[in-house]
Amino acid sequence: MQTVELLPDVTTERTVRDVWRRLSDAGLPSQATHRHPTNRPHLTLATADTLVPEVRVRLKDALAVLPVPLRLDGTVRFASRTPVLAWTVRPDEALLHLHEAVWRTLRDAPACGRLNPIHAPGRWKPHITLARGRDVACPDTPLFSAAPGEPDDVLTGQWAWARTYDSVVRSATPLGPCS
């Protein structure tokens, strides 16, 4: 499987990693314990069986709009075989248009194979994963304290870069702009 992912700006990434560390320090499940070098805060836009070279070129064109605004707003728990605690991404028009362009690029390229329908426009639940595991739960206290006068667990920044991730060989490749 190949993913198309957005990566946050450096400040946002540092903040998310700090939340990961605080969860881990509290003895809770956390992405901080996932030590693979490709593990970093990201937003998955779509997944496909494969990304052929001509599709990668079209994806780079779609991703040329980066950076786009980023807003993380509250936490959510996804119940599944492996429950997930995540920071909710509140998409604006720019992110929704980018997501649609990426989805359409993959959908219109039969060589990509099957797309995961959970990323389809209208079904997509944008988020940054904070933790995975049976014991994950939405915390009673904020994970991130904002500046005075701002709501807790709300963070703004930019989606600055894009990459693909290949789950078979466990490698990431920049898509653009360079990360």
d(CA 92, CA 143): 23
Q: How many helices (H) and strands (E) does the chain have?
A: 3, 7
Half-sphere exposure of 2 (CA within 13 A, CB side): 22
**Mind spelling out the 3-state secondary structure of 106-171?**
HHCCHHHCCECHHHCCCCCCCEEEEEECCCCCCCCCCCCCCCCCCCCCEEEEEEEEEEEEECCCCE
- Tell me the whole-structure pTM to 2 decimals: 0.92
Residue pLDDT, tens place only, 55-112: 999 999 999 999 999 999 988 889 888 899 999 999 999 999 999 999 999 999 999 9
Gap between the terminal Cα atoms of the chain: 21
Domain range for 151 is 2-176
- Is the predicted pLDDT of residue 178 greater than 60, yes or no? no
**83-103: b (≥16 Cβ within 10 Å) or e:** bbbbbbbebeeebeebbbbbb
Given a cut of 60, whether residue 45 has pLDDT beyond it is: yes
pLDDT-based confidence at residue 129 (cuts at 50, 70, 90): very high
The CATH number linked to 23 is: 3.90.1140.10
Give me the mean pLDDT over the 113-141 stretch: 90
Give the number of domains in the chain. Answer: 1
Tokens of 64: 């040329």
φ, ψ at 162 (rounded to 5°): -135, 155
Is a pLDDT exceeding 60 seen at residue 179? no
Structure tokens at 73: 């707003």
- For residue 26, the model assigns a pLDDT of 86
Q: 128 with 16: CB under 8 angstroms?
A: yes
120/142 Cα distance (integer angstroms): 30
